[in-house]
Structure 1
């Protein structure tokens, strides 16, 4: 059985991230940003939940249309 994802998969191409961290305001290339990443993930968690719920609803609607559309 396939587990449902909590978040969408990572991008296959380069992520267009700014060179300056939006949390601490320092350059990303000078130090590690694990703490900043955790803070950012917590802030974006509600946004991801709504996004994934919308995607699930779209998928469900598409399946319903296919089921009775024949």
Structure 2
């Protein structure tokens, strides 16, 4: 009969903390993207147009002008 080998769990708490931090950062990124989207939807755009696209100088919204 074989003895059970030792399982090293020393990094478990660090992994748990890092996963929680990743989750918080993902929520923050989602919130910031929503804020950017809101600002871009409500911006009175000041476009700089180039060949094939235009970009708002105030909020960074861009769109293709190839229709």
TM tier relative to shorter chain = 0.3 to 0.5
Higher RCO (CA < 8 A, seq sep 6+): 1
Instruction: With the length of structure 2 as denominator, give the TM-score of the two structures.
Output: 0.42
Greater per-residue helix proportion: 1
TM-score calculated relative to the size of structure 1: 0.41
- Structure with bigger gyration radius: 2
Give the strand-richer structure, 1 or 2. 2
